[in-house]
Amino acid sequence: MIEIINLTKKYGSFTALNNLNLTIEKGSVFGFVGPNGAGKTTTFSILATLLAPTSGTAYVNGYDVTKDPKQVRKHIGYMPDFFGVYDQFKVHEYLDFYGASYGVPSKERQAIIPQLLELVNLTDKKDSYVDLLSRGMKQRLCLARSLIHDPEVLILDEPASGLDPRARIEMRGILQELKNMEKTIIISSHILPELSEMCDYLGIIEHGNLIASGNVNQIQSQLQANKILFVSVKQDIDNAIAFFENDLNVQLVERDDKDEQLLHVSYEGSDDDQVQLLKKAITKDIPILTFSQKQSNLEDIFMEITKGEE
C-alpha cells in the first residue's frame, strides 16, 4: 500500500509537485498520467527514497519514505525512466549482481533468476551480453532487476517509453502477470490509453497538481465539465433549437455539419435534469427522432486539458 500525504517538492522557487495526496491500495494498479514535466518522475523519486520532499511525506507499506528509507527500499522495486546497464555483464550475471546488492542469498538468486527471466521472456537471452539486447529487451531486463528481491510494491516510471507497438504489448502482458501476483503497482506514462486499459485507478497530474483521480468513469466526469447531447428531430429544427436554448442547463446548441436534422447540445445538468428535459421536449411536441449522449473519449479530454503542455 502507498499513502502520499500533502507531498510538495520545490526546486528553488519552482514548485514541481504541489500538495499531492493519494492512496494506492494493496494489490491495485495505479496509473499516473501527465504530460512531460508534470511531476511524475519527481513523485516517483521521492517514493523511491532518492529525493527528499520539501514538505509532506509518503508511506510505503507503513514505512515513512523520509524517516525509514532502508525499510522502504526493501519493500519497493523501482524502475527509473532512464537507467544504465552494465554492458560487460551477461543477462543472468546482471541479475545476479543486483540480487547480491540487495542481499538476496546465492541459493535464492539461483532459484529466482530463471523465474524472472521466464516472466520477462528473456530465458533465451540469459547468456547474451546486456549490451547486445534490443531496447525492449533492456526495458524488460530492468523490470526483472526491480523484482529481484521480490518486493510487494513496484514503482515503474514510463516502462513502455520508446518501445515499438509489439514490445509495448509484451510489456502490458508482463504487467498483467505482475498484477495477477497481487503486487501493488504505480506506473507512469504520458500516453493515457496505454494506462487506462491496464490500471484499476488513474491519477492525472498537470503542473504538479493532481487534477483528477479515480477509475476511468470518475476521471471522465471530473474532467468533463459539460456533456454533449445528440438530438435529432424529424422537422422544425429551428423550433427545436429555440426550445433547447431556453433551458437553463444548456450552454450551447449547434447544428451538425453534415446531418441537417441533428443538433449538438452542450449540457451541464444532472442525469435527472436530462430526463426532465426529454419529457418536457415531448410535451412541447418537439418531434424527437433520437436523443443520446456523446460517448466522450478519455484521451480527447486529456489532450484538451493538457494542450500546449508538451
Ligand X SMILES: Nc1ncnc2c1ncn2[C@@H]1O[C@H](COP(=O)(O)OP(=O)(O)OP(=O)(O)O)[C@@H](O)[C@H]1O
> Quick check: 36 binds ligand X (CB under 6 A)?
yes
> Quick check: 11 binds ligand X (CB under 6 A)?
yes
> Quick check: 46 binds ligand X (CB under 6 A)?
no
Q: How far is the CB of 14 from ligand X (least distance, A)?
A: 6
Q: Is the dihedral of CA 118, 123, 125, 127 positive or negative?
A: positive
Q: In the range 138-197, which residues lie near ligand X by CB under 6 A?
A: 190
> Quick check: 41 binds ligand X (CB under 6 A)?
yes
Question: Binding marks (x or -) toward ligand X, 80..119, rule CB under 6 A?
Answer: -x--------------------------------------
Return d(Cα 189, Cα 202) in angstroms, integer. 11
Q: How far is the CB of 34 from ligand X (least distance, A)?
A: 5
Number of other residues whose CB lies within 10 A of the CB of residue 238: 9
Number of other residues whose CB lies within 10 A of the CB of residue 161: 16
> Quick check: 34 binds ligand X (CB under 6 A)?
yes
Number of residues that bind ligand X (CB under 6 A): 13
> Between 40 and 145, whose beta carbon lies closer to ligand X?
40
CB burial of residue 67 (10 Å; 0-12, 13-18, 19+): exposed
Pairing of strands 29-33, 184-189: parallel
Angle, alpha carbons 35-202-156 (nearest 5°): 70
Q: What is the DSSP string of 73-129?
A: HHHEEEE-SS----TTSBHHHHHHHHHHHTT--HHHHHHHHHHHHHHTT-GGGTTSB
Return d(Cα 51, Cα 58) in angstroms, integer. 12
Q: How far is the CB of 85 from ligand X (least distance, A)?
A: 19
Return d(Cα 34, Cα 40) in angstroms, integer. 7
Only one of the segments 8-16, 19-27, 63-71, 225-233 lies at the binding site for ligand X (rule: CB under 6 A); that segment is 8-16
Assess contact for 103 and 70: CB atoms under 8 A: no
Among 39, 53, 136, 151, binds ligand X (CB under 6 A): 39
> Between 34 and 203, whose beta carbon lies closer to ligand X?
34
Among 24, 28, 42, 210, binds ligand X (CB under 6 A): 42
Q: Is the dihedral of CA 243, 244, 245, 248 positive or negative?
A: positive
> Between 16 and 122, whose beta carbon lies closer to ligand X?
16
Q: How far is the CB of 179 from ligand X (least distance, A)?
A: 23
Q: How far is the CB of 182 from ligand X (least distance, A)?
A: 27
Only one of the segments 22-30, 40-48, 97-105, 298-306 lies at the binding site for ligand X (rule: CB under 6 A); that segment is 40-48
Return d(Cα 133, Cα 182) in angstroms, integer. 29
> Between 16 and 91, whose beta carbon lies closer to ligand X?
16
Tell me which residues touch ligand X (CB under 6 A): 11, 14, 16, 34, 36-42, 81, 190
